Amino acid sequence: MSKLSVITHEAFARHPVPMGHPERPDRIRHVWQALDEDFADLDRHQAPEASAEAIARVHGEYYLDLIAEQEPQEGMISLDPDTHMGKGTLEASRRAAGGAVLAVDQVMTGQAERVFLAARPPGHHAEPHKPMGFCLFSSAAIAAQHARAVHGLTRVAVVDFDVHHGNGTQAAFWDDGDLTFASSHQMPLFPGTGSMTETGCGNIHNAPMRAGDDGAAVIAAWQDYLIPKVKAAKPELIILSAGFDAHEADPLASLNLRAEDFATLTTMIRQLAEDIAEGRLVSLLEGGYDLAALKASVTAHLNALR
């Protein structure tokens, strides 16, 4: 069995965004460079398109139909001021969700212990009935529901160290006590959610950080607060929304993490999975908008997962 595998697809570079948009195709190309340069030995798989059934477990059939109907045959439309759709967007978004589903299948069937999905667009801002924040489908939530519906799990946790709060995952999990969401993020910052008072049914755990906080502060929040909360929930699978925009070089936020801090956080979360979830860990690429910082952070992340 391969301990770590990678899932990606060339379609992720074909999702168009307007000139100057931070969530641009060069992001995934820099991740691919990191994979080719340092991780060519890892098993690599093609992300399939998620089934309508898998997506509908989170978003409902109406939402999926609504998104599909809006895809333009040429040019680009805006779903909100940040979220855009061109001819390649629906395929890329379906494959991002499908890659997350395949990652769950791999860890649940023993093909791998850990999986990294290198995909775009990201997913953790997409709410059950609303695309937003560059995201169309909530891949982490879709993966969690797939693990329950297809593999018979009861308890799943999504942990999220993206600098922006994963409001979409939180919304999808809000009233389901068997689904745990734990997040560190800068606040105040887009999307404006993520206070410690947002607790769902006791299954939501937010650790808002202040602008200027460094890696030590974020690591302490995980060590002292978030990891104990997740451990207490006893998830059978851990899904990581791995955004790297808390890096000190990132243009969209003001936390001051470095690549080695992401390695430390990843090691902590990997150990958590080994302690309580039979090592099952699925990592999904979310944000990260400085290209050099993204590449360095993904490299550190994968070295910690390997």
Active-site residues, by number, are 125
Helix/strand/coil (H/E/C) assignment for every residue in the chain: CEEEEEEECHHHHCCCCCCCCCCCCHHHHHHHHHHHHHCCCCEEEECCCCCHHHHHHHHHHHHHHHHHHHCCCCCEEECCCCCEEECCHHHHHHHHHHHHHHHHHHHHCCCEEEEEECCCCCCCCCECCECECCECCCHHHHHHHHHHHHHCCCCEEEEECCCCCCHHHHHHHCCCCCEEEEEEEECCCCCCCCCCCCCCCCCEEEEEECCCCEHHHHHHHHHHHHHHHHHHHCCCEEEEEECCCCECCCCCCCCEECHHHHHHHHHHHHHHHHHHCCCCEEEEECCCCCHHHHHHHHHHHHHHHC
Q: Could you tell me the two tokens for 141? A: 């939530």
Q: Give every CB contact of residue 10 below 8 A, 6+ residues apart in sequence.
A: none
